[in-house]
Structure 1
Amino acid sequence: MDLDSVPTRRPSPGLMPPRDGAPPPKRSGRLHRARAAVAAALPGTGAVAGVLLALAALGAMIGEPVLIPSLAASAAVLHHTPTLPTAQPRTVVGAHLLGAAAGYAVLAAAPSSPWSAALAGGLTFAATSLARTPHSPACATAVVVVLQTPAPARFVPLLLGATVMLVLGGLAASRLNGAAPRYPVRWW
């Protein structure tokens, strides 16, 4: 058997070393798309985590829970979809305050229970729709108010401050990341 008659394996095109003077092959495929997705997600992830950590730190310093689940959801909405109406400052701040008001209104009429929490969530949805401030995480704020029954004199100012911090975090992230869409689209 002659060595020239044995078929040799040809390297696949993506694995061939570049020839002198030839540009390297372009990256394509899943790995490149995955790396690009991770690189695109890092600034927003850092901004969301930073604001949420600041809220947690503030709560630890003053001995009050400032970080509640609905605020984490708001941070995600604000940073994933900063140009949508649901992420604008008036909507984020106003909807959470309406959610707290609905929660306290339900507590004034009924005891804390899963049924009254569900009612408060529904009332928040109605109130935010009527006020043209639709922000679904605010429904969770109403549920938190009913199930946890925080003192309004402490909870409402903390909620206001926390939502303002979320908005300022979104503003800062938008200005620091030149590739990100401008936030906010409108203030009111």
Structure 2
Amino acid sequence: MSTDTAPPETTTKLRITGRAPARPAPAAAVHSVSAVTLVLLGLVAIGAAIHEPVLIPPLAASAALVHSVPTLPFSQPRSVVVSHLLAAAAGYATLAVAGAGSAAAAVAAGITLALTTLARTPHAPACATAVVIVLQSPSPARFVPLLFGASVVLVLMEFAVSRIRRGAPRYPSYWW
């Protein structure tokens, strides 16, 4: 005879522990806003100079993560650069097999997560890169070099701005 509820000794209660992080000092908040905005404006300036769109939404998310939590594995240069390239491969492969569409974009994001996990390059914004590719179908010959260059520039600019404020964590924790 089966029951729909587990015996009381095997059930667990959901416990919420811990606290939200402390509010940053005003100077740290201003630095963060300024640094991320500077990095993104740098990508915009490069795009304007070469007459190509260099700033795509996933890179804005990458910049925010890299600056906000610079010591975590998903913020490291290896994860930022490699994950976006794996996302491009997943996006274009999915586009070739399934065509453009919302369902295909969701599959491409899932494939990206699997690839970045296996490659030990976790970086959530890369899933959005795969979605952008499937939904917008940019030319790979144009998009992939721009994506690669922009992700490298983002990492280098974050490296530079992380050294401006004393006491701020230095980026990166490791390069590769």
Question: What TM-score, normalized by structure 1, do the two folds share?
Answer: 0.79
Task: Tell me the amino acid that sits aligned with residue 54 of structure 1.
Answer: G
For 1:165 and 1:41, locate their aligned partners in 2 and report how far apart those are by CA, in whole Å. Answer: 23
Are 1:124 and 2:112 an aligned pair? yes
Residue number in structure 2 paired with 1:169: 157
Residue number in structure 2 paired with 1:160: 148
1:38 Cα deviation from its structure 2 partner: 2.2
- Tell me the number of residue pairs that the alignment of Structure 1 and Structure 2 aligns: 155
1:42 Cα deviation from its structure 2 partner: 1.5
Are 1:75 and 2:55 an aligned pair? no
Task: Tell me the amino acid that sits aligned with residue 74 of structure 1.
Answer: S
Comparing 62-71 and 124-133, the one that deviates more: 62-71
Equivalence map 1:55-94=2 (5 Å):
55-94=43-82
For 2:168 and 2:119, locate their aligned partners in 1 and report how far apart those are by CA, in whole Å. Answer: 29
Equivalence map 1:1-188=2 (5 Å):
37-188=25-176
Measured against aligned partners, the alpha-carbon deviations of 1:107-139 in whole angstroms (never above 9, x if no partner) come to 111110001111100000000000010100000
Residue number in structure 1 paired with 2:13: none
Task: Tell me the amino acid that sits aligned with residue 88 of structure 2.
Answer: A
Percent identical: 63
Task: Tell me the amino acid that sits aligned with residue 46 of structure 1.
Answer: S
Unaligned ranges ≥5, structure 1: 1-32
SS at match of 2:163: helix
For 2:69 and 2:166, locate their aligned partners in 1 and report how far apart those are by CA, in whole Å. Answer: 16
For 2:154 and 2:29, locate their aligned partners in 1 and report how far apart those are by CA, in whole Å. Answer: 18
SS at match of 1:175: coil
Q: Give the aligned CA root-mean-square deviation in angstroms.
A: 1.5
For 2:26 and 2:62, locate their aligned partners in 1 and report how far apart those are by CA, in whole Å. Answer: 21
Unaligned ranges ≥5, structure 2: 1-21
SS at match of 1:176: coil
SS at match of 2:168: coil
For 2:156 and 2:32, locate their aligned partners in 1 and report how far apart those are by CA, in whole Å. Answer: 14
8 Å CA contact 1:116, 1:146 repeated in 2: yes
Q: Which has the larger radius of gyration?
A: 1
